[in-house]
Amino acid sequence: MPAAQPAPLTLVQPAADPAPRTIVDIHNLTLTYQAADHPVYALSDVSLSIAKGDFISLIGPSGCGKTTLMRVVADLEQPTSGAVTVNGMTPEQARLKRAYGYVFQAPALYPWRTVERNVTLPLEIMGLAKTERQQRAREQLERVGLSGFERKFPWQLSGGMQQRVSIARALAFDPDLLLMDEPFGALDEITRDHLNLQLTRLWLSTRKTCIFVTHSIAEAVFLSTRIVVMSPRPGRILDVIDCDRELPRERTLDIRESPEFQRIAHRVREGLMEGHSYDD
């Protein structure tokens, strides 16, 4: 691959509604890292702003930098250039203030802790009192439909249930922002549908801002208010699709049969294919 930078493709967000507060603001973000023999452009000139209450999906093929983008927002990865603010702070300040909850691809539960004590882990680190911790854990476990599993160990639960525990854990300290990195990627289709439905209800009831990384077009269209389509190497934003205008906020699984849903899915697919033609 030639080292020359490709022409930047910047998308200015239409400032249609001035009211919603911007939670995440990404400006001309570039991230390169040195692989064995050549530099890898993980992200190239990415700009995106995310308003409070948004459900944003980042979709793209493997290696398009969608996970990297989210890890930059979470201060788990340092950008080469560009600016990111989270709640008006740098990602590091936001991380130190525990502004976001992160749900990883794998549940990453601690096998030596019960389900309840997995959920209370961040609260323990924050120094909350034990009774308060337990009460919050119970609330969050109820929210993800896992009441009664407090005393179980993670390995006694199915994969879908484990991932729900990890969502409860991310919600336990009540962050404004929820970052989810392909949380349902390893689950079967039926479990995934079920969890998508649960997640959209959870989002509606908590009004959290969500950033969601996925491979699945159907999942992205079903969950999102906006879909960000990305292209691989260098990771760039190809298209930002607003789903909120055509799809209602409250969604059921049947919506996937509607022409509006199909139209958006088609546009996402076209965007992805456009990105792929770069490679061939």
Partner 1 sequence: MTTKKALPVAVMALAVLVLWYAGAVWLNAPLAADALTRAGHDWTTADLIRATLAMKRPILPTPDQVALDLYNSLTGYPVTSIRNLLYHTGVTAGAALAGFGMGVVLGVALAAGIVQARTLESSLLPWVVASQTVPVLAIAPMIVVILGNLGFTGLLPKAIIAMYLCFFPITIGMVKGLRSADPLTLDLMRTYSAGTAQTFRLLRLPASLPYLFTSLKIAVAASVVGAIVAELPTGGQAGLGARLLSGSYYGQTVQIWSALVMAALLSVTLVAAVGLAERALVPGGRGGAR
Q: Is 245 helix (H, G, I), strand (E, B) or coil?
A: coil
Nearest approach in angstroms of CB 233 to partner 1 is 23
Between 97 and 263, whose beta carbon lies closer to partner 1?
A: 97
- Residue ranges that bind partner 1, judged by CB under 8 A: 74-76, 95-98, 100-102, 104-106, 108-114, 121-122, 124-126, 153-155
Tokens, residue 78: 């340092």
CA–CA distance, 115 with 113 (Å, rounded to integer): 7
Nearest approach in angstroms of CB 184 to partner 1 is 16
Between 18 and 111, whose beta carbon lies closer to partner 1?
A: 111
Between 7 and 155, whose beta carbon lies closer to partner 1?
A: 155
Distance of CA 56 to the CA centre of its chain: 7
Q: Who contacts 153 (Cβ-Cβ below 8 Å, separation ≥6)?
A: 111, 113, 114, 115
Nearest approach in angstroms of CB 31 to partner 1 is 17
Nearest approach in angstroms of CB 135 to partner 1 is 19
Between 54 and 75, whose beta carbon lies closer to partner 1?
A: 75
Contact 251, 222 (CB under 8 A): yes
Between 106 and 255, whose beta carbon lies closer to partner 1?
A: 106
Tokens, residue 151: 């005393």
Calculate the alpha carbon distances from 49 to 30, 59, 199, 248 in Å.
15, 16, 22, 22
Nearest approach in angstroms of CB 265 to partner 1 is 31
Nearest approach in angstroms of CB 162 to partner 1 is 9
* Cβ count within 10 A of residue 94: 24
Whether the bond into 234 is cis, omega within 30 of 0: yes
Nearest approach in angstroms of CB 154 to partner 1 is 7
Nearest approach in angstroms of CB 125 to partner 1 is 5
For CA atoms 152, 156, 161, 165, the dihedral sign is positive
Q: Is 44 helix (H, G, I), strand (E, B) or coil?
A: strand
Q: What angle do CA 64, 93, 73 make, to 5 degrees?
A: 10
* Cβ count within 10 A of residue 3: 8
Between 172 and 229, whose beta carbon lies closer to partner 1?
A: 172
Task: Please tell me the number of Cα atoms within 13 Å of 150 on its side-chain side.
Answer: 15
Between 45 and 75, whose beta carbon lies closer to partner 1?
A: 75
Between 60 and 101, whose beta carbon lies closer to partner 1?
A: 101
Tokens, residue 145: 């439909």
